[in-house]
Amino acid sequence: MKKIRFLKVQFDAEIEGWEIPAFRGSVIQKAGEQHITFHNHINDQEVIYRYPVIQYKRIGRNPALICVDFGVDEVHHFFNNRNLDIEISGRKLSLNVKYLQMNQFTLQVWEKSFSMRLTQWLALNQENYAKYRATTDAFVHLTLLEGILKANIISFAKGIGWDVDKDIRLRIDTIEKSRLVTYKEQKLMAFDVTFRTNVFLPDYLGLGKGVSHGFGTVRQVRTEKIP
């Protein structure tokens, strides 16, 4: 069990999905590249392989920041700027805060399950992509993806210092969509899936590869209660 702070900041400007990396770059520049938490790079050649606690998203049509755990403390390096104007794709944008929400969540493994939807999930590395392409068996695909998603959740837990001491249950219900997307000048397969797990995950948390660039966004599937 671990308590974490979770900050969502949504701005009133509008960007396209493919502009998230440019939004990320502009925020890093404003915050100062010396603040490694914003990008996890020591320099152009050296990368810190850890879970990104500051993530860059597009919510609706708005750029947004998701700050997890100690990322909430670090994001002040960006907001200390008096001028939050940035330039993306040759146009200037004023990053006025449209919506800000701070929550504290208790992370734990529950007895019950939560229904989630995960979009733009970059699940497959080179090795797993070969395994996925080696068969057309839907059951094999599901089993492979379930194992990867469980590992993604464990990687997130380790990244924020949560020692998971119970068994994580997880089942993918549907693969809604799969398509090739561009990430760091590479074509990778992205999935939209719905799944159930006994770990509660906050809305807009990132899982998998590329989460700091807006990939792999989780949202809880809420079912309306019948009166």
pLDDT tens digit string along 2-56? 999 999 999 999 999 999 999 999 999 999 989 999 988 666 666 667 899 999 9
CATH architecture for segment(s) 2-105: 2-Layer Sandwich (3.30)
Where along the chain do its domains lie? Answer: 2-105, 109-220
Q: Backbone phi, then psi, for 4, in 5-degree steps?
A: -130, 150
Q: What is the 3-state secondary structure (H, E, C) of 84-123?
A: CEEEECCEEEECCEEEEEEEEEEECEEEEEEEEEEEEEEC
pLDDT recorded at residue 22: 94
**E-state strands within the chain:** 2-11, 54-59, 62-68, 85-88, 91-94, 97-107, 109-122, 170-183, 186-199, 217-220
- What is the number of residues in the chain? 227
Is the pTM higher than 0.85? The answer reads yes
pLDDT recorded at residue 43: 61
Q: How many CA atoms lie within 13 A of 156 on its CB side?
A: 29
d(CA 8, CA 91): 25
What does the pLDDT look like over 165-214, one tens digit per residue?
899 999 999 999 999 998 888 889 999 999 999 999 999 999 999 998 99
d(CA 145, CA 152): 10
CATH of 109-220, picked from 1.20.1070, 1.10.3470, 3.30.1390, 3.30.70, is 3.30.70
pLDDT recorded at residue 47: 66
pLDDT recorded at residue 46: 65
Nearest Cα neighbor of 203 from 97, 83, 117 is 117
- What would the mean pLDDT of 129-141 be, rounded to a whole number? 92
CA 140, 141, 142, 144 dihedral sign is positive
Neighbours of 152 (CB within 10 A): 23
2-105 shares its CATH topology with 109-220: yes
What does the pLDDT look like over 80-129, one tens digit per residue?
998 999 999 889 999 999 999 999 999 999 999 999 999 999 999 888 99
Check: CB of residue 178 under 8 Å from CB of residue 190.
Answer: yes
d(CA 135, CA 32): 46
185: left (phi over 0), alpha (psi -120 to 50) or beta: left
Check: CB of residue 57 under 8 Å from CB of residue 204.
Answer: yes
